[in-house]
Structure 1
Amino acid sequence: MRMPNSISNLPVLAKVSALLVFIALFSTGFGLTLRTKNAAIKHAVVEQGETLDQLRSARNAAKAFGDMKYWNAELANSLQDSSIDAAAAAKALLFGELEALQVHNPELSQTVRTNADEIEELSLSAMDEFIMDERKAGNAYMAQAREKVGEVDQMLGALTTDLAARAEAARQSALGASQTALALSIPAMLGVLAALAIAGAALFSLVVTPIRRMTYAMLKLADGDATIALPAEGQKDEIGNMAGAVAVFRENMIEAERLRKEQLKVEERARVEKRGTMNQLADDFEASVTEMVDTVASSAGQMQVSAHELADTARSSGKEANGAAKSSRESADNIEMVAAATEELRSSIKEVTEQISTSAEFAHSAADAARESNMVVKSLGEAAARIDSIVQIIQDIAEQTNLLALNATIEAARAGDAGRGFSVVASEVKGLAEQTTKATQDISDQIKDIQDVAKISVEQIGEVAKSIGHIEERLANVSSAAKEQSATTGEISESIRRAAEHSKLISQSVTQLADASSTTESTSVQTHEATVEMTLQTERLGAEVREFLARVRSA
């Protein structure tokens, strides 16, 4: 997925922060939407509950009024005190229910109260007339009472019908609000998951993929491929800065290859010039050596005569001095061998010291990388904690919805058959709240797993950093010890060198003594042999010079 340059140039921290803000805004919008819908559901539930209470009071009032008119009619027929008491009791129940209706229907309640009092008064007047055997007057009072009864029945019937209609409307409103909340919650949850998926894909595209591409390019450069194209080159973020640094290495590699080719050309020209110079030197050397060989051959003939006269001067002392000189030379050679071995040991210790220093630098770089990884994983844990707080808000809203649904179920049970439909709505809302709670719990568990993994990663990276620190300290100690050993070995080498020089001086002194003690014999024999050998060597030298010059010219 190709991102615009304006996004690619942002720092990595800004990219990650933008993704987190995007998730937070989306989750906040989802929470506010659910909160609004829950408020609407709550309002509809409260309105329906109040309406059902009014409807129950109206029906109870109608029932109490029915009992009241029955006992008043019975009173006109039986003329008994028990009918009066029953009618009074029914009237008291009626007035009790009218108290509940007083809040929302004050005029109707007052009218019913007045009519009930008048009905009671008319019934009692009719009873008095009937007792006096005034049937006509009594029937007139009962006719007036029946008119009042009809008015009250009509008012209570109309109120009951109106309240029933309002209760049904409130039920429909609550049902619609719950269905709307259900219709919105599922897409909203899917939207949150989609937002998380988009954020993950964006993080992979903006951070992980550029780092992988840069790693591949760096490996190709390490293999010597200077033609590789660098990803993210020219971007203004950290990946772009890394690409710029790697581009410098690539240019240096190209420049080094160019200088190597130029060096080969220079060396080729130097070989050609050297060949011409060597031929000229060979010609000059041949002329000089030929003249020198002739001179030496002439002098060798004269030296043979002088050397023979000195043959018998000091043969015995010469043998002893030669033995001592031989022993001195062997001692000097042995000391020189020890000095050479010590020098090799010193070079090896120096190389080991350099390797240890390089390893210490690598360990320090690894410790820095471990600390940076530790900080990134901690940031991931903090981001997961913030997402968990958002999920907690959603879970709280679901619990509140579940509580409201439970309350609505209780109220529906109180309403009996009239609240059966509302009970179904409350059950659906409760089921939705339980599904939301379960979903948020699953998300919370997954976030907790992420936090646990991040915590373990922080601890493990910390242990790795600590181990690298110990390795770095040990490498530093080993490097210091190696440097001290190198210094000690240098002192030993210097001491052996001075001993070798002294041994050479002793060998030279013994050789001089041998020469002094066998002057005559060595002079005569060596000179005689030297002159003979010189003659042979002169001839051989001439041949070798010619062969050497031939090789020089052909080189």
Structure 2
Amino acid sequence: MRFDDLPMALKLFAAPAIGLVALVAMAVASHQVVGGITATAKDVGEVRFEATAELLSASSELNGAAKDLYYALAAATAGGDAKASVALLDGVVQRMGKAKEAVERAKDRLPDGKTKAELATVGQDIDKLGQPVGFVKDMLGIDAQSAVSFLEPLRASLQGVQDRLNAAASHERTTAATAIKDMDASATSTQTLSTIIVLAVVLGVAAIALVIVRALKGSIDRISGATEALAAGNIAVNIEALARKDELGAIVGALDVFRANLADRDRLTREQAEAEKRAEAEKRQASLRIADSLESSVHSLVERLNAAVQQLAGNARGLSDQAQVGQERTSVVDRAVTEANGNVQAVASAAEELSVSFGEISGQVTRAATMATNARVRVEESTQQMERLQSQGDRIGSVVRLISEIASQTNLLALNATIEAARAGEAGKGFAVVASEVKSLATQTAKATEEIGGQITSMQGATREAVAAIAAIQQTVNEITTISSAIAAAVEQQEAATREIARNVQMASQGTAVVAENVAGLQAIADITHRSSDEVLSSSQVLGSETSALSASVSKAIASLRAA
């Protein structure tokens, strides 16, 4: 079937129908892609990030449990109150319970996979650590030194569980970053494909509309030329070449009738030359009848053509309205993306503040380590002073023993002097009195020396106990210094993890900015569609003007025919 034989309504409706179908298909495809991007963003925001936060919370609780184990170990080693160590171990059990709950929440959020299976194993290991902690707590009340030997292996096991939690959190952060990259790639490809489709639709609709308008205008011009030629009396016009099966075909048929009538008129004129007046009158009546018939047919066809043009204009307006609705919805999506970008920026600021807080904690832990080092130096100085005091006590003891020996010798000499005085009789009485006084003084000196020796012995024992206590304090301070260093290292790890979270959130912010740019591109495409529909509407108006011109030409021809 030729294009000219197609119905006029089908010709006028073809271009907007093709454009509308293409736009609907593009809208459905864009909706599916946006749905996939939304699902990915939901998985990253509600699943991966929240699961990572739960894992970090569990790691923090285990870190606190490790600190309490250190404190319990230090208290038990220093020979302190066992109740304090038991209270610290109770805190360890509570923290392990909170860590287990956080691990379970993270496992429930994550889909089935390697990380979820690993978290199930981690939760079981945390439960298993509860029994050794209870055993150590019971042992503290029975044999503190034996209980201390279990604390270090328990701390190592707790550190291993914490390392596995940190590895799981790192894996989830990596998975989230990969999902964000895939979402960016999908958005970029969607933007490119949408641009190509819209341009193709616009160009295709414009080309089809141009072909249809030019074809209709050419047909109308040829019919108008034939009508004017017939009106001028040229019956040699080739009406068969204008034959068609659409609404304009009726006009061509009317022109064929008009040409046949003109031929009949000429023939009648030649055959009835003798009855010119009567033939002229009959010709006049025939011309009027033909003019009336032609006028009725042409006006009817022009009205149908105008109706088809109005339908084309209505379709163009509908396409323009749909394009405007697409612009409005794109604006709504743009505002939503802008709001999401603001939320991601807020999360980035919070992560940066958390990183600063970890920096302050690290500084405080460093200062605590410095204070522990200073305390260790002071304890070493005190140990040296106590050792000097012990040495001086030993020397004083030697002097006291010497005095005691001198007193013993003096007592013996006084005894000998008393014996000699007794032998001397009356002459030795004065010497005997002096010897008795010397013996009394020697006895008092021996007693005083013995008492001083006892005091010196007590002082030496106290000094040795003080030296042992200071040595134990020094060992405790050394352990506190080691613990402070470990805490500082753990805080640095947490600070690095927080910086990584801030960097990932900043990447998410950049991704939302790219999505916003893509939405702006879609809005520009909607603007182009709106302008294209306006151009189709303008073309339909031009076609209406051409139809009016055709009607005027036919009216002119009929008027000329009636005036003939």
TM-score by length of 2: 0.54
The alignment partner of 1:102 has SS state of helix
Check 1:15–1:363 CA distance in 2 against 1; reply closer, same or farther (3 A cut): closer
Q: Which amino acid is 2:197 matched to?
A: A
Distance 1:152 1:107 in 2: 14
Q: Quick one: which of 159, 164, 183 aligns to 1:155? A: 164
Q: Quick one: which of 64, 67, 74 aligns to 1:67? A: 64
Q: Quick one: which of 7, 11, 14 aligns to 1:11? A: 7
Distance 1:231 1:198 in 2: 30
Contact 2:66–2:158 (8 Å) recurs in 1: yes
Q: Quick one: which of 176, 187, 191 aligns to 1:178? A: 187
Contact 1:8–1:235 (8 Å) recurs in 2: yes
Contact 1:412–1:420 (8 Å) recurs in 2: yes
Give the C-alpha shift of residue 410 in structure 1.
Answer: 5.6
Check 1:233–1:367 CA distance in 2 against 1; reply closer, same or farther (3 A cut): closer
For 1:508, the equivalent position in structure 2 comes to none
Give the C-alpha shift of residue 239 in structure 1.
Answer: 1.9
Check 1:75–1:120 CA distance in 2 against 1; reply closer, same or farther (3 A cut): farther
Tell me whether 1:189 sits opposite 2:198 in the alignment. Answer: yes
The alignment partner of 2:6 has SS state of coil
Q: Quick one: which of 9, 12, 30 aligns to 1:34? A: 30
Tell me whether 1:423 sits opposite 2:432 in the alignment. Answer: no
Where do 1:250-269 residues align within 5 Å? 250-257=259-266, 260=269
For 2:208, the equivalent position in structure 1 comes to 199
For 1:521, the equivalent position in structure 2 comes to none
Contact 1:232–1:239 (8 Å) recurs in 2: no
Check 1:379–1:208 CA distance in 2 against 1; reply closer, same or farther (3 A cut): same
Distance 2:131 2:124 in 1: 11
Q: Which runs of 5 or more structure 1 residues have no equivalent in the other structure?
A: 268-358, 462-555
Distance 2:34 2:55 in 1: 30
Q: Deviations 1:110-134 (Å, cap 9, x if unpaired)?
A: 5434433544553464466567664
For 1:436, the equivalent position in structure 2 comes to 522
Q: Which amino acid is 1:383 matched to?
A: N
Distance 2:323 2:102 in 1: 47
Check 1:168–1:34 CA distance in 2 against 1; reply closer, same or farther (3 A cut): same
Give the C-alpha shift of residue 42 in structure 1.
Answer: 1.8
Q: Which amino acid is 2:40 matched to?
A: A
Contact 1:232–1:243 (8 Å) recurs in 2: no
Q: Which amino acid is 1:100 matched to?
A: R
The alignment partner of 1:236 has SS state of coil
Distance 1:96 1:375 in 2: 74
Q: Which amino acid is 1:8 matched to?
A: D
Give the C-alpha shift of residue 142 in structure 1.
Answer: 1.9
For 2:319, the equivalent position in structure 1 comes to 387
Q: Which amino acid is 2:122 matched to?
A: V
Contact 1:76–1:130 (8 Å) recurs in 2: no
Distance 1:452 1:207 in 2: 15
Give the C-alpha shift of residue 30 in structure 1.
Answer: 1.5
Give the C-alpha shift of residue 178 in structure 1.
Answer: 0.7
Give the C-alpha shift of residue 215 in structure 1.
Answer: 1.4
Q: Cα RMSD (Å) of the superposition?
A: 4.5
Give the C-alpha shift of residue 182 in structure 1.
Answer: 0.7
Tell me whether 1:248 sits opposite 2:334 in the alignment. Answer: no
Give the C-alpha shift of residue 34 in structure 1.
Answer: 1.2
Give the C-alpha shift of residue 426 in structure 1.
Answer: 1.8
The alignment partner of 1:42 has SS state of helix
Contact 2:50–2:106 (8 Å) recurs in 1: no
For 1:279, the equivalent position in structure 2 comes to none
For 1:355, the equivalent position in structure 2 comes to none
Bigger Cα displacement from structure 2, 190-199 vs 128-137: 128-137
How many corresponding residue pairs? 366
Q: Quick one: which of 86, 89, 99 aligns to 1:94? A: 99
Check 1:399–1:75 CA distance in 2 against 1; reply closer, same or farther (3 A cut): farther
Distance 2:139 2:327 in 1: 73
Q: Rg bigger for which structure? A: 1
For 1:487, the equivalent position in structure 2 comes to none
Distance 2:340 2:8 in 1: 51
For 2:341, the equivalent position in structure 1 comes to 409
Q: Which amino acid is 1:427 matched to?
A: A
Give the C-alpha shift of residue 241 in structure 1.
Answer: 2.6
TM-score by length of 1: 0.54
Q: Which amino acid is 1:101 matched to?
A: A
Tell me whether 1:51 sits opposite 2:48 in the alignment. Answer: yes
Tell me whether 1:116 sits opposite 2:113 in the alignment. Answer: no
The alignment partner of 2:242 has SS state of coil
Distance 2:122 2:20 in 1: 59
Contact 1:58–1:156 (8 Å) recurs in 2: yes
Give the C-alpha shift of residue 106 in structure 1.
Answer: 5.9
Give the C-alpha shift of residue 406 in structure 1.
Answer: 4.7
Contact 2:317–2:533 (8 Å) recurs in 1: yes
Contact 2:107–2:116 (8 Å) recurs in 1: yes
Distance 1:203 1:170 in 2: 48
Distance 2:269 2:7 in 1: 39
What fraction of aligned residue pairs are identical, expressed as a percent?
16
Q: Deviations 1:22-50 (Å, cap 9, x if unpaired)?
A: 22322222122212211221222222222
Distance 1:370 1:217 in 2: 16
Distance 2:120 2:75 in 1: 30
Where do 1:432-471 residues align within 5 Å? 432-437=518-523, 439-440=525-526, 443-444=529-530
Give the C-alpha shift of residue 434 in structure 1.
Answer: 3.3
Contact 1:406–1:430 (8 Å) recurs in 2: yes
Distance 1:373 1:241 in 2: 12
Check 1:54–1:232 CA distance in 2 against 1; reply closer, same or farther (3 A cut): farther
Tell me whether 1:138 sits opposite 2:148 in the alignment. Answer: yes
Q: Which amino acid is 2:126 matched to?
A: A
Where do 1:132-531 residues align within 5 Å? 134-139=144-149, 141-230=150-239, 233-257=242-266, 260=269, 375-376=307-308, 378-388=310-320, 390-391=322-323, 394-395=326-327, 398=330, 401-402=333-334, 405-406=337-338, 408-409=340-341, 412-413=344-345, 414=347, 416-437=502-523, 439-440=525-526, 443-444=529-530
Contact 2:8–2:305 (8 Å) recurs in 1: no
Distance 2:153 2:187 in 1: 51
Give the C-alpha shift of residue 57 in structure 1.
Answer: 2.1
Q: Deviations 1:335-387 (Å, cap 9, x if unpaired)?
A: xxxxxxxxxxxxxxxxxxxxxxxx99999999978965764454244313432
Give the C-alpha shift of residue 145 in structure 1.
Answer: 0.9
Give the C-alpha shift of residue 174 in structure 1.
Answer: 0.8
Give the C-alpha shift of residue 9 in structure 1.
Answer: 0.6
Contact 1:76–1:123 (8 Å) recurs in 2: no
Bigger Cα displacement from structure 2, 156-165 vs 375-384: 375-384
Distance 1:34 1:183 in 2: 11
Check 1:452–1:24 CA distance in 2 against 1; reply closer, same or farther (3 A cut): closer
Give the C-alpha shift of residue 263 in structure 1.
Answer: 6.5
Q: Deviations 1:401-434 (Å, cap 9, x if unpaired)?
A: 4466357536644363213223222222222223
Q: Which amino acid is 2:229 matched to?
A: K
Q: Which amino acid is 1:409 matched to?
A: N
Give the C-alpha shift of residue 204 in structure 1.
Answer: 0.2
Check 1:17–1:449 CA distance in 2 against 1; reply closer, same or farther (3 A cut): closer
Contact 2:59–2:165 (8 Å) recurs in 1: yes
Bigger Cα displacement from structure 2, 364-373 vs 119-128: 364-373
Q: Which runs of 5 or more structure 2 residues have no equivalent in the other structure?
A: 77-83, 276-290, 348-500, 548-564
Q: Which amino acid is 1:122 matched to?
A: P
Contact 1:182–1:432 (8 Å) recurs in 2: yes
Distance 1:6 1:383 in 2: 24
Give the C-alpha shift of residue 78 in structure 1.
Answer: 3.3
